[in-house]
Chains A and B, each alone.
Chain A
């Protein structure tokens, strides 16, 4: 459903879209049934000459059924939704998958810019060949990434709509998460937590590249030789 208005560019995007669609149909059913009954009753029992209202207390078991049965059905729907919601939550937020070729990027938020530290050709953070970019994150498609998210001042929120990913950045803490891009392209990164006057002025972009494009980009950025980059 969401994928029709916004690309789904990570593994978890499809999972979250699925839960969204599931809830949409379940609650959509309840909404339409309730509104239909509601408007139906309004029409059926509008005031007409010579017809008074009935005296119904709603205290009898046979009457209460009309409330208790729908209420139990709502509960069943809730259980269903909780199951799928918690499942995708577990995958995205509680679990931290690993892969042999995974990489770690550092995301630092501040008033009002993003600093992305890429590990560079050696694939390891905090070495001399790290690539720091402002408001620009470059990743390779079909590769698992861990991010280390932190803030230098106030709360920010690292939001990548195309990944359906969002995590607040808290000063004094490093929060670790993951994403796995599945689609080449260029997408928005937003700050989704109000962070002061410039909150609206910190748009950034994520560039998802093929291995060749990524290597070429790294070569232009790093002082090291092209061979080091392409040799990997």
Chain B
């Protein structure tokens, strides 16, 4: 591509270029920053769809039979379709594209001092396939029979046989969309790994790479190593679904449990695929705003390696009561509880980093700190489920749901807002409004806790998942339980309403925000040494690296930061 104009935020220039220029520049670009923005905007738009679904089905749960404003009365099959697509969208079309693809694309070249990705055209293709997968998924809402409603885990025979699901086209389209999305991230992942390993600025050794880059690369490796069996499985499931092969049909020699193994062999590492970029983002932010060197950089890295390896050995804890040999559960209980050790250690390291700091509570810092505070709850509640004995009871209850939302909301929502508010000045050249940012922060984090704390209690009381209306179950109809469900739903409404503050803040700041200097946070990593926003090619002269990324408050220096590219 031959463009040399400095890159700016798409919205700003939308009207200044004629059609072809706009198309070439923003939709057909190979610039890693533009592709990052494409992923970011698409991912956030998909998150809005996923959030709308949550709003509809939570409203039905709390007020059964109500006509939900903007949707109408929710039927059981609509309810199933909404929860299925909420889960799939939030993981595959929001968390993955934003955390790995958007931040990975934006940050890797800028933080390692490269002018672009190693394979820019593969990068463009990756986004295009991703966009196609999103459109394919959305199209399933408009086909005969409606979208797939058999949960995002797609367990056969429900997903493989239209007689059971009654969504002949919806389930096939769902499988195709998921498979396409995997292909997009395989392409993107190759790019991230190769770029980070080969394009580093001169002087940047392995232990000088910022943690977030390391973690996105690890996440890409995890994804590539785990997704193979699932793509094979998705192919088999598609053939079962469309052509009547019987891979998962027990009446013809198939086995439905096999799918669960293939799915969760991918599905559990997938948790760490999205977790790692988020904890990486948090590491960058807490070191910057505590003015502290990251506590034990190498230990952080090794805990991530340990977590990554262990994450391949825990998958069957999703299947304790699925009909696997009960002896297997003992092995998977041990591995699952073992993984709590490196993850807990990672959290301890972050908390230790705060010791001796000089902490300022900016909006990005608040998001990063709230990640630690809430993710801890998600982490410890996992122990109840990893322990086979208690999982017999808690499996498929709202306790599970509350647990993984206490991991995924910190990861996907809090992690995204942390990274977005931290790097927004670099991406757009404007500062976000701090006051609106803090209103948005408290308006998101407080309701988030009020949604899911009640759901832990409801789950422990036996409320089970994917149920359209609990009032048919006498034990679940107790008034206190219905009231807790209402509290959760009303909190969700509040949380969603506060997202408007974020939109207003972004639009206002893009137009009127203060101009961002190169390094507004006085941070060390390389992306802060170029213009905000960085031009095409990122630097006029590529930087050279002299030290690690977290040399804050080094004794004997005038400033409390020491950028990686400064010789002394």
Contacts and interface: CB of A to CB of B under 8 A. Distances in A.
A171 B256 contact: yes
Interface stretch (B11-19, B215-223, B372-380, B421-429): B372-380
Contacts of A56: 292-293, 295, 355-356
Interface in B284-304: 290-299
Nearest to B548: A57
A147 interface: no
B341 A74 contact: yes
Contacts, number: 292
A173 B552 contact: no
A175 B512 CA distance: 66
Interface string A196-227: 11111101010000000000000000000000
Contact of A166 (B257, B396, B461): B396
Contacts of A26: 383
Nearest to B384: A23
B77 interface: yes
A61 B136 CA distance: 54
A46 B361 contact: yes
Contact of A54 (B334, B468, B553): B553
Interface stretch (B271-279, B345-353, B489-497): B345-353
Contacts of B373: 35, 38-39
A188 interface: yes
A5 B337 contact: no
Question: Number of contact residues on B: which range applies?
Answer: 35 or more
Given A93-B392, A200-B468, A161 B462 contact: yes
A175 B358 contact: no
Contact of A27 (B352, B383, B555): B383
Given A86-B330, A200-B468, A157 B321 contact: yes
Interface stretch (A75-83, A99-107, A138-146): A75-83
A202 to B, nearest CB: 9
Given A82-B387, A197-B77, A71 B158 contact: no
A164 to B, nearest CB: 4
Contacts of A53: 290-292, 356-358, 552-553, 560
Contact of B390 (A23, A55, A195): A23
A34 interface: yes
Contacts of B466: 194, 199-200
B76 A201 contact: yes
A113 interface: no
Contact of B553 (A2, A55, A154): A55
A193 B384 contact: no
A165 B321 CA distance: 10
Given A38-B373, A192-B464, A195-B158, A58 B475 contact: no
Contact of A200 (B354, B469, B555): B469
B393 A161 contact: yes
Contacts of A66: 348, 352
Interface stretch (B149-157, B446-454, B518-526): B149-157
A153 B80 CA distance: 18
B85 to A, nearest CB: 13
A16 B473 CA distance: 23
Interface string A179-191: 0000000011010
Given A53-B553, A167-B323, A5 B461 contact: yes
A82 B461 contact: no
B304 to A, nearest CB: 14
A37 B351 contact: yes
Contact of A64 (B158, B296, B355, B555): B296
A197 B295 contact: no
A77 to B, nearest CB: 9
A102 B509 CA distance: 72
B140 interface: no
Contacts of A23: 383-384, 387, 390
A137 interface: no
Contacts of A90: 330
Given A23-B387, A64-B299, A192-B464, A164 B393 contact: yes
A169 B256 CA distance: 11
B86 to A, nearest CB: 13
A200 B79 contact: yes
Contact of B348 (A70, A92, A162): A70
A34 B77 contact: no
Given A53-B291, A165-B392, A172 B349 contact: no
Contacts of B476: 188
Contact of B321 (A2, A48, A167): A167
B299 A175 contact: no
A88 interface: yes
A1 B340 CA distance: 24
Interface in A42-59: 42, 45-48, 51-59
Contacts of A27: 380-381, 383-384
B291 A52 contact: yes
Contacts of A125: none
B547 interface: no
A45 B355 contact: yes
B474 A47 contact: no
Nearest to B75: A197
Interface of B: 76-77, 79-80, 149-151, 155-158, 161, 164-166, 250-251, 256-257, 290-299, 320-323, 326-327, 329-330, 333-334, 337-338, 340-341, 344-345, 347-349, 351-361, 369, 372-373, 376-377, 380-381, 383-384, 387-390, 392-393, 395-397, 457, 460-462, 464-469, 472-476, 552-555, 560
13 contacts: A23-B383, A42-B369, A51-B358, A56-B292, A59-B298, A92-B389, A157-B321, A162-B475, A166-B395, A170-B323, A187-B475, A188-B473, A190-B462
In the A-B complex, list the 10 residue pairs whose CB atoms are closest, starting with the nearest. Answer: A172-B250, A161-B462, A54-B356, A85-B387, A58-B296, A58-B295, A88-B389, A200-B468, A27-B380, A85-B389
